[in-house]
């Protein structure tokens, strides 16, 4: 796991690299494999290079792009679009139950909340 570094200008010293974020990161292709969206990192890389993955609304061009908890992924696979929020990075490709703890499917959350609010009149879906 790496760390994001931000370049800032320090007065009188020119450019200096300061590690300000201190947030853990993981390669996007590894995370897709750990979360069991792809069987192998090679397949995950093909998905990314095929312009089928967006990270926080921006197209991802490289399989090694860093992912952090809280990022939102848009996956387009087999004519199905899924909206996923990264909750944890994970350390391995484990069983499906473990993989499901790494993300939150925002489309399912929207459907569940709308079903609960369907009985109430005059209320909008809170996730819209």
Domain boundaries, the chain: 26-117
CATH class as words, domain 26-117: alpha beta
Choose from 1-15, 54-68, 76-90 the range with maximum mean pLDDT. 54-68
- Give the per-residue pLDDT at 118: 42
- C-beta pairs of 59-63 under 8 Å, 24+ apart in sequence: 60/28, 63/27, 63/28, 63/29
Q: Which of 19, 23, 21 is nearest to 68 (CA)?
A: 23
Question: Which one is predicted more confidently, 122 or 111?
Answer: 111
Distance of CA 65 to the CA centre of its chain: 11
Token readout for 124 is: 């909008």
User: Is the pLDDT at 110 greater than 90, yes or no?
Assistant: no
Q: How confident is the model at residue 12 (pLDDT cuts 50, 70, 90)?
A: very low
How does DSSP classify residue 107? H
User: Is the pLDDT at 19 greater than 90, yes or no?
Assistant: no
User: Is the pLDDT at 83 greater than 90, yes or no?
Assistant: yes
Mean pLDDT over 42-57 rounds to: 95
Token readout for 79 is: 């004519």
What is the DSSP annotation of 2-71? EE--EEEEETTTEEEEE-----EEEEHHHHHHHTTSSSSHHHHHHHHHTT-EEETTEE---TT-EE-TT-
Beta bridge partner(s), residue 59? 54
- Give the per-residue pLDDT at 112: 61
User: Is the pLDDT at 128 greater than 50, yes or no?
Assistant: no
Token readout for 80 is: 């199905």
């Amino acid at each position: 796991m790496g760390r994001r570094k931000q370049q800032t200008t320090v007065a009188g010293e020119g450019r200096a690299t300061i590690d300000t974020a201190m947030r853990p990161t993981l390669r996007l292709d590894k995370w897709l494999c750990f979360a069991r969206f792809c069987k192998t990192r090679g397949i995950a890389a093909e998905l990314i290079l095929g312009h089928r993955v967006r990270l926080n609304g921006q197209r991802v061009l490289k399989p090694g792009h860093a992912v952090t908890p809280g990022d939102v992924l848009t996956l387009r696979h087999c004519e199905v679009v899924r909206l996923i929020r990264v909750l944890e990075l994970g350390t391995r490709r484990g069983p499906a139950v473990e993989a499901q703890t790494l993300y939150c499917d925002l489309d399912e959350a929207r459907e569940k909340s709308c079903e609960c609010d369907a009985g109430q009149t005059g209320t909008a879906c809170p996730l819209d």
